[in-house]
Amino acid sequence: MTITVGDITANPALEVRAAAGHTGLGRSIRWAHVTELHDPVRWLRGGELVLTVGLGLGSDERSRREYVRRLHGAGCAGLAFAIDVWLREIPPEVLEEGDALGLPVLRVEGETPFIAVVETVADHYAAERTREQHRLLTAQDAMARAALRSGPAGVMGELSSSTAGASLLLDRNGMTSVSVPDTEPPWHATVRSALAGRPRGMTLLADGDATILLQTLGPAGRTLGWLALHCPFPVTPHVRMLANHAASLLAVDLLHSRDARRALYRERAPVLRAVATGRPQVQLTLPVPPWEVVCLRTPDPVALMDRAADALVDVLGDTDVAHRVGLAALDDVLLAVLPASGRPHTGERLFTALASEADGPSAAGACGARRPDDLPSAVDRARNAAADGYRHVDEADAWALLRSSVPATGARVFDQAVLGQLRDHDARNATELAHTLLHYLDNSAQVEATARDLGIHRNTLRSRLRIAERVMGRSLDDPRTRLELWTALSLDPMPCFDGIWHS
C-alpha cells in the first residue's frame, strides 16, 4: 500500500497543509525529495513529493508557472514549500497552476523540518515491506500446512487466496488435476496452448490486462506437471516467490507420490510373481476383474518397472486404479496386470508409451484373465505372443492358445513338412491349391459349400483337389492327412492372392 499526499497532510506529527491542488491529494508518493534547482526534472523519476524553500522557483510569474508545469509533467506527486525561510507566502500564480493541474501545493509550517517529511515516507515503506514480508511468510506457512493437511488442492487454495488470483494444476499430459476455482475459464486454454513447446522454468503469458504465471513442476530433465497462476494485475516479486513456494510443495508431493507408488509395486511384485508362475495362491491387490495380462519383452525388466509405474498413471488416467495395478519382473519380460478395457487395449497404450523411450520394450503380448486361477495360463500366452510389436490374444479362443504355444520356428518346420510341396507348386504355376484346401477343410470337406465359398464351379474345385492329392502323394480321404493339413494351414493362415503365397 502506498502513501498519498493526503496522508502527509493528515499526519498529526507534521505541520503540513494543502494550499492548492486539493483534487490531487490522492496521488501516491514514491519518495520525498529536497531540491532547489530551477529545473530538477532530469533528476526525478516520477512520484516524488518535491520539497523546496523556493530558491529555484524563478524571479517572474511566467518562470514560476513553467516551474509548476515542469514538475507536473515529470509526474511528481506534489510540491511543498517551507514558509518563512525564503518565501513568506506561496506566489498566487503557483497556487493557480496547482489548482488548474490538480497538482497538490503544500505548506510546510511551524517546526516541521523537511527531513521529518522524508522520514515519514521512508518509514511508511519500510513498515510496508515488513508487512509484506509477514504476509509472504504467513502465506508460505499456510501453504505448507495445507500440503500436509489436504495435499495439492490445499496448496492451490492457499496460493489463490494469498495472491487474489486463480490457479490451475496440470499433470504432465496437460490434463487438469486441480483448479481453483473449480471451473474451466478461457485462460485455461491459453495455458494448454503454451504447453506445446513444453516450457521449462517460469514463463509469463499475457491474458488481456491480466498475467498468467506458468511454472514447471519436477526435477531438471523430467516434467511432472505444471502450475499456472492467473493474476488480475502485473506479477510482483512476492507473487513470484509464492508461486515458486507452491511449485516446490507440489513437486515434492508429486515426487513423493511417484516414489511411494514405485515402492508399492516393488512390495507387491513377489506375490504377483508367485501367483503368475503357478505357485500357491495368496491374497492379491488388483483392479476388479476381468484383467488384461501384459508381458513387455525387455532385457532388463527390473529397470523398466519404475518407468512403467510412472507411465501407468498417464495411461490409466486414474491414480486410485493405478495404485491397484500389479507389476512384476520375470526372466525376460515385465508383467503387468491391468484393468481390461476396450480398444485400444490398456496394455497397448502402455507399450506405446514405453516403446517411445530409450531402452523401451521391444515387443508386448497381452491376454485376458477373468480370475486369479487364469493368471498362470494368461501369462504364458502373453509371453509367447510378445514377438513383434503389440499382440493381444483372446482368452476364450482355444485354437489361439495352441497357436500361441507353438514356437514360430516349429510352426515353419511343420508347415514345410506338410505343405512344402503344395506351396512350391503354387509358386511355380500360379495356382491356389493351399488356399483351396484351407476352405475345403473349413467347410468339413463339403464340395458344394466350398465351391460357393470360393466362387468357383464344383468341377473346378474337384479338379484342384485331385491335383493337390497328386502333388502331395496323399489322399484327402485319410483323416490324418486332413488333420495335418488343417493344422498346418491354421497355425498361421496367410491367404493366397494372385497365385502367390504371402508368408
pLDDT digits (tens, 9 = 90+) for 282-320: 666 777 788 889 999 998 898 888 888 878 877 776 666
In this prediction, residue 501 has a pLDDT band, given cuts at 50, 70 and 90, of very low
* Number of domains observed in the structure of the chain: 4
Q: Is residue 390 part of a domain?
A: yes
Q: What is the pLDDT of residue 399?
A: 60
Q: What is the rounded (10 degree) CA torsion for 421, 426, 427, 428?
A: 90
pLDDT digits (tens, 9 = 90+) for 220-254: 656 788 999 999 888 888 999 999 999 999 988 87
Domain match, 220 and 178 both: yes
Is the pLDDT at 267 greater than 90, yes or no?
A: no
Is the pLDDT at 349 greater than 90, yes or no?
A: no
CB 3 within 8 A of CB 124: yes
Q: Is residue 263 part of a domain?
A: no
Residue where one domain finishes, among candidates 356, 390, 405: 405
Between CA 308 and CA 303 the distance in angstroms is: 9
For residue 363, give Cα distances in angstroms to 298, 306, 333, 367, 403.
8, 18, 9, 14, 18
Residue where one domain finishes, among candidates 233, 253, 273: 253
Q: Is residue 265 part of a domain?
A: no
Domain match, 237 and 156 both: yes
Between CA 116 and CA 160 the distance in angstroms is: 39
- Domain of 15, in residue numbers: 3-112
Q: Is residue 351 part of a domain?
A: yes
In this prediction, residue 199 has a pLDDT band, given cuts at 50, 70 and 90, of low
Provide the CATH number for the domain around residue 482: 1.10.10
Nearest to 471 by CA among 427, 430, 407, 421: 421
Domain match, 423 and 354 both: no
Q: Is residue 367 part of a domain?
A: yes
Is the pLDDT at 492 greater than 70, yes or no?
A: no
pLDDT digits (tens, 9 = 90+) for 310-338: 788 777 766 666 667 888 898 889 999 88
Please report which helix (H) or strand (E) contains residue 205, including its range: strand 202-207
Between CA 366 and CA 325 the distance in angstroms is: 15
Residue where one domain finishes, among candidates 253, 271, 294: 253
DSSP result, 39-71: --GGG--SSEEEEE-STTS-SSHHHHHHHHHHH
Between CA 501 and CA 422 the distance in angstroms is: 10
Provide the CATH number for the domain around residue 211: 3.30.450.30
Q: Is residue 264 part of a domain?
A: no
Domain match, 106 and 139 both: no
CB 393 within 8 A of CB 385: yes
Nearest to 287 by CA among 263, 307, 315, 260: 315
Q: Is residue 266 part of a domain?
A: no
**β-sheet bridge partners, residue 166:** 230
Cell numbers found for residue 351 = 507399450
In this prediction, residue 281 has a pLDDT band, given cuts at 50, 70 and 90, of low
Q: Is residue 208 part of a domain?
A: yes
Total residues belonging to the chain: 503
CB 224 within 8 A of CB 203: no
Domain match, 477 and 490 both: yes
Between CA 71 and CA 171 the distance in angstroms is: 53
**Range of weakest confidence among 102-116, 191-205, 375-389:** 191-205
Q: What are phi and psi of 265, to 5 degrees?
A: -65, -40
Q: What is the pLDDT of residue 117?
A: 97
In percent, the amount of the chain with pLDDT more than 90 equals 40
In this prediction, residue 24 has a pLDDT band, given cuts at 50, 70 and 90, of very high
